[in-house]
Amino acid sequence: MKVPARAALAAALVLGLTGAAAAPALADAHAAHTLAAHDRPAPEPSTGPNAKALREAIKGLPNADATAALVRVGGPEGTWRGSSGVHDLVTHRKADPNGRFRAGSTTKIVTAAVALQLAAEGTLDLDEPVQHYMPGLLTGKFKPIPVRSLLNYTSGLKSGDGFDDEYAHRFETLDYEAVVASAVAKGPEHDPGVEQHYRNIGYTVLGMLIEKVTGDTYAHQASERIFEPLRMRDTYFPGADPRIRGPHNRGYQTRERADGGTRLVDVTEWNQYDRFAAGDMISSTADLERFTRALFGGEVVPRPQLKEMFTLPAKVKDATFGAGLQRYQAGDRVVWLKTGSRYGYTNMIAATENGSRTLVYSVNATDAKGKDMNAVAERIARAALS
């Protein structure tokens, strides 16, 4: 049965926001669906970004779905920049287009890039098991897990335990090593390399592995290898600091009231220490656009290793992820993307493999961890990638 194009796109993009669902089949060659003609914005004379559709996508903010949106579309086909909404719901001053935000799982592409750099240098062998580098981390219940399986979400590790009510504990520190220990205690879900399930845990272990083989902190390796060379001055790892340093727009989340109604709460300040190499990064759209252009242009990871990001595991049915990036077919375009979300903020980086079209957005979503894709984010993605 053919999946409606709107539902297909939403299903593909929401995957990176939930952090637990199995990868859907829609991104492989047999199941990908083009955007339905009646859903497409009216084409413009050039092949560049559809400015009209993009303006429509972000107008009317704040609304029930989002309080602000920051968008950058680029590439040789043309560029488009836009922002809308408010900095906060108290002063209602205009949203800062250069504001920083919690990048969520787009962090994973930075982690993958560091790991692939180490592979290019010979420090990491993607075919070697995790147990070779970190003996004692996993129990005897686990078969050897190749490093590559951490990168492409086929490790078989289950999710670790966290706080039952994350909002109530948002200023407390949860150690990511404790999260990994709880995941290991649950045993394997499947043998490595036979199933693909999108989860944070593999990238948490990958961050620990980077620290092990370099003898350095993950945050410093990311800064030294990527942020500093690319002059990503808005990008950093806050650790246990719940604040967002520098200019930023406030994030809000819908919460249920005791009477059954809902209210918006300010969730800007939140300790994300447990997300570590899987989702603790703070950045800006300008920085992520710079990173995306450099990554797809072969300036961050050498080409032989970069191919890992665009290679789906051959023996895994319905795989949609390579090393971090997810494949999606949007009309005539094959797009590689990564979504990310933390409460109050939902984001995406995306590009064609040749970099002809790039997209970076950050939406101050009021349902950033919901099961469905945020409506504003979906409109932006459809307008930019059609």
Instruction: Give the domains, in start order, of the chain with CATH numbers.
Output: 5-385 (3.40.710.10)
Given this model, what pLDDT does residue 257 score? 82
Cα–Cα distance, 242 to 204 (Å, whole number): 19
Sign of CA dihedral 157, 163, 169, 175: negative
- Is 90 exceeded by the pLDDT of residue 47? no
Convert 61-80 to b/e letters by CB count within 10 Å (16 or more is b): bbeebbbbbbbbbbbeeeeb
36 vs 362 pLDDT, higher one: 362
Q: Which of 46, 83, 84, 105 is catalytic?
A: 105
Task: Taking residues 183-200, report their average pLDDT.
Answer: 97
Strands (E), 220-332: 252-256, 262-266, 282-283, 326-330
Q: Is 339 helix (H, G, I), strand (E, B) or coil?
A: strand
Using left for φ > 0, alpha for ψ between -120 and 50, and beta otherwise, residue 78 falls in: left
Which residues are registered as beta bridge partners of 326? 321, 337
The length of the chain is: 386
Question: How many percent of the chain have pLDDT more than 70?
Answer: 88
Lowest mean pLDDT segment, chosen from 28-42, 159-173, 293-307? 28-42
105 carries an active-site annotation: yes
User: How many C-beta atoms lie closer than 10 Å to residue 297's C-beta?
Assistant: 12
Q: Beginning with the edge strand found earlier in the chain, give each strand of the sheet holding 333-342 in spatial order.
A: 80-85, 66-74, 358-365, 345-352, 333-342, 326-330
**Residue 17 corresponds to which tokens in the numbers above?**
């926001």
Contact by Cβ (8 Å): 285, 349 = no
Task: Taking residues 12-16, report their average pLDDT.
Answer: 51
Given this model, what pLDDT does residue 49 score? 93
**Residue 280 corresponds to which tokens in the numbers above?**
């603790």
- Is 60 exceeded by the pLDDT of residue 305? yes
Contact by Cβ (8 Å): 126, 313 = no
Element at 25 (helix H, strand E): none
Strands (E), the chain: 66-74, 80-85, 101-102, 252-256, 262-266, 282-283, 326-330, 333-342, 345-352, 358-365
- The separation between the first and the last C-alpha atoms of the chain, rounded to the nearest angstrom, is 23
Average pLDDT, the chain: 89
Residue written as tokens 């609304």?
Answer: 63
- Please give the DSSP secondary-structure letter assigned to residue 100: B
Contact by Cβ (8 Å): 156, 150 = no
Task: Taking residues 360-386, report their average pLDDT.
Answer: 93
Contact by Cβ (8 Å): 102, 210 = no
**Residue 171 corresponds to which tokens in the numbers above?**
């200023």
* Residue 174, φ and ψ in degrees, nearest 5: -110, 120
Given this model, what pLDDT does residue 259 score? 82
Residue written as tokens 């920051």?
Answer: 70
For 68-108, what is each residue's pLDDT tens digit? Answer: 999 999 999 899 999 999 999 999 999 999 999 999 999 99
**Residue 168 corresponds to which tokens in the numbers above?**
């109530």
- Is 70 exceeded by the pLDDT of residue 6? no
Helices (H), the chain: 5-18, 51-58, 107-121, 130-133, 147-151, 176-185, 201-214, 218-222, 276-279, 285-296, 303-306, 375-385
